Every structure is written in C-alpha cells, then in structure tokens.
Amino acid sequence: MKIVFAQGNPGLEYSQTRHNVGFMVLDVLADAENAPWKADSKIKAEIATITLEGEKVLLVKPQSYYNETGQVARALVDFYKLSPASDVLVIHDELALPFGTIRVREKGSDAGNNGIKSLNAHLGPDYARIRIGIWNELRDQIDDAAFVLSRFTKNEGEQLEQQISSIILPLVKQFVSNSLEASSHRA
C-alpha cells in the first residue's frame, strides 16, 4: 500500500488557491479513477482509494489546516504500519519555485514551508515529495500568506491542468511502482 498525501487547507474558501495545488492534483487523479472521497473524522482526512500499477493507493487530503498536517500523516502511517521513506509521497506547493516548475525529491528539509515542518516533525524528513512551483511576479508585491491563499490566474490554471496530466500523474505512477527519482521539470 502507498499513500499519496496532499498539502492544503479544507473548505471552499481555499479551493483553487495556490496553497491547495496538492488537493487539485489528487482531485484530478481521483476523478480519473472514479474514486469517491470519503471523510474519515477519526484521522481528520478525506480519503479516496484507488489501484495504480497493481498497488492499493490512498489519496489523502488532510482536513487539518496546512501547517498541522503532520499529525494526520503520522496517524495514517501508524494505522497502516507503513514506512514514510518508501510508502509516502507528499504533493505540495513551493513558493520558492517559479510557476510551472515541478521538482521531485526523495527527502529534504522544510525550506521554510510550515506544512513540511509539521510533516518532518511527525514523520522525519525521509519521504518523497513532488514540489509544484507557484511563484509569479505578484509574490513580490504582497506578503507570503496573502500570496499562497490567492487563486491561480486563468492562464496558470490551464497550464496547471496540462501539467497535472502530462507530468505529475506519471510521476505519481512512478512512485507507486518504486521508480520515482529526483528530477526537475519545466513546462
């Protein structure tokens, strides 16, 4: 079993914001597999179960807030007796990367991302990540919190949809088949 864990915030007011790009990716994957989301109030997450590459995969959208997602991830890893280093993939936004950049890492520091700080505190730093760049020129004009909670432009939304299908979903399949390697992609 594998867990694909998205960083994001619950609630419609955060839907389609830069901080919720991980949720957007999992929504596309769940839709493609006709997998319904089910609320798990004990673990505080919405979970969709799919099969990829012959492996059971839990798609997880934590319903805690972005900066507190580590507890949700830890509860899942403990419940299913999984290893973060081999069984957990986290998909999250990356403020330091230009929009359109996608980076894959096998482990690492939080680089100032509070959600990753929470995950590292509860799981350690050894888990795979797909980092999706969200930076654009607007970032230099407003503070970090306002920027990450802003919505994508129409052009960015269209480009993101294309990248999810052509780059990110194949990377998720590589993770599930244990062939994901550190890499960088640019649309």
Instruction: Supply the DSSP symbol for 168.
Output: I
Contact predicate 103/167, CB 8 Å: no
Q: Which two tokens stand for residue 108?
A: 């690492």
Annotation marks residue 185 as catalytic:
no
> Closest Cα to residue 40, out of 61, 15, 24, 14?
61
Q: Which of 19, 92, 122, 185 is catalytic?
A: 19
Number of Cβ within a 10 Å radius of residue 63: 18
Residues 6+ apart with CB under 8 A from 147: 18, 95, 138, 139
Residue 169 C-alpha from the chain's centroid: 12
Supply 125's token pair: 């730093």
Whether residue 166 contacts residue 75, with contact meaning beta carbons closer than 8 Å, is answered with no
For residue 177, give the amino acid letter.
S
- For residues 136 and 101, the answer to whether their CB atoms sit within 8 Å is no
The residues annotated as belonging to the active site are: 19
